[in-house]
Amino acid sequence: MNKKYWSARIRDCEPYVPGEQPKDRKYVKLNTNENPYPPSEAVLAAARQAANDALRLYPDPVCGDLRLALADRAGLKLEQVFVGNGSDEVLAFCFAAFTDEKTPAVFPDVTYSFYPVYAEFFGAPTRVPPLNDDFTMPLEELKKNDGCIFLTNPNAPTGIALELDVIEDVLRANPDQVVVVDEAYVDFGAESAVCLVDRYENLLVVQTMSKSRSLAGQRVGFAYGCENLISALTAVKDSFNSYTLDRVAQAAGLASVLDEETFREHCSKVVATRERTVRALENLGLQVLPSKANFVFARHEKAAQLFAGLKERGVLVRYFAKPRIDTFLRISIGTDEEMDILLRELESLLQEIGAK
């Protein structure tokens, strides 16, 4: 590709690759960790109501109503909440706000693959300690107080979660550095670090409405932290785009925060299906890492072949052709009916592979 006119920053950057969103046929889509259940009628009604003639006006740049609702739910103050266009944008702002050429980004080798992209784009050096052999976090390597820590909990793509006392150990060991706890999947069984925000001024907790609140299409992310850290994120936002969240997204997000019943119901259903799926996968001979997310990470020596075979049969899962994890499939949790299709096709594939 001709990259004439491109800046050096983007010319040499290797962008993040999202999960497939194919249009060629109808798939059982278990590759992007979306919620299998729709937003509640209350959320949809709020979105419809917001899509009125006021769309000619700019949205609230500070997302005041949404931030206040999030603050109330977390037992924090308005000034301790930041809202952005999906947690990806919030995380990007974290790299811009808390890392630079003298402050590296520190994250493990197997984690959210957007982190190295952000680091390269914003010109931050990195320190990337490897996960332990069992794919748990290399905690001692995250306690060196030498850079901004990015800690995904539960981790992606492994699904393994950390307990709060472990997160506190990391916070105490890094008093001069920000510790960003990325909780995109926390609502499916892990412990949130939001309760620690008032105790640690170096803690920033990032969450999203894409997974547990079925709003991936609206792009609503948010962060909790002390006022100093939130002000830093706001300074970055207002240096890029003051209006990061549109009127419809703000209305839908607010309605979702207020709809606790649907939120809890959907999370419970996903967790129940996850546990059933884990047992079934293990019965088929796959090794499944312990997951507290809305996906599982399942190992098979012929993972690449299984990935391709499932796609041919109309089932999409995620495969990473990367060192250490190229024998794993990441499988999002769908409805019980969708998981039954996955398991049926997977069993058939395994029988075919065994016969060859």
pLDDT at position 7 is 87
pLDDT at position 2 is 82
DSSP string, 107-132: --SSS-TTHHHHHHHHT--EE-PPPP
Look at residue 213 and tell me whether its pLDDT is greater than 70. yes
- Contacts with 115 (C-beta within 8 Å, 6 or more apart), sequence order: 91, 105, 107, 150
**Residue linked to tokens 């999203």:** 208
Bridge pairing between strands 295-299 and 126-127: unpaired
pLDDT at position 320 is 93
Cβ–Cβ < 8 Å for 185, 294: yes
Cβ–Cβ < 8 Å for 107, 149: yes
pLDDT at position 304 is 96
pLDDT at position 196 is 98
As a whole number, mean pLDDT of residues 272-296 equals 97
pLDDT at position 353 is 83
pLDDT at position 247 is 96
pLDDT at position 210 is 96
Cβ–Cβ < 8 Å for 184, 155: no
Look at residue 23 and tell me whether its pLDDT is greater than 80. no
CB crowding 166-205: b at 16 or more within 10 Å, else e: bbbbbbebbeebbbbbbbbbbbbbbbbbbebbeebebbbb
Look at residue 240 and tell me whether its pLDDT is greater than 70. yes
pLDDT at position 13 is 83
pLDDT tens digit sequence for 297-315: 999 999 999 999 999 999 9
Q: Which two tokens stand for residue 8?
A: 């050096």
pLDDT tens digit sequence for 250-270: 999 999 999 999 999 999 999
Partnered with residue 329 across adjacent β-strands are: 298, 319
- Contacts with 78 (C-beta within 8 Å, 6 or more apart), sequence order: 64, 67, 68, 71
Mean pLDDT rounded to a whole number for the chain: 95
Distances (CA, A) of 90 to 9, 67, 76, 85, 199: 20, 14, 19, 7, 22
Main-chain phi, psi angles of 105, to 5 degrees: -95, 130
Look at residue 355 and tell me whether its pLDDT is greater than 60. no
Look at residue 179 and tell me whether its pLDDT is greater than 90. yes
Dist. CA 229–CA 225, nearest whole Å: 6
Question: In this prediction, what percent of the chain has a pLDDT beyond 70?
Answer: 99
Look at residue 21 and tell me whether its pLDDT is greater than 80. no
Q: Which two tokens stand for residue 338?
A: 């969708």
Look at residue 1 and tell me whether its pLDDT is greater than 80. no
pLDDT tens digit sequence for 68-120: 999 999 999 999 999 999 999 999 999 999 999 999 999 999 999 999 999 99
Dist. CA 311–CA 333, nearest whole Å: 16
pLDDT bin (cut points 50, 70, 90) of residue 4 is: confident
Q: Is the peptide bond before 154 cis (omega within 30 degrees of 0)?
A: yes
pLDDT at position 10 is 85
Dist. CA 351–CA 356, nearest whole Å: 9
Dist. CA 59–CA 130, nearest whole Å: 43
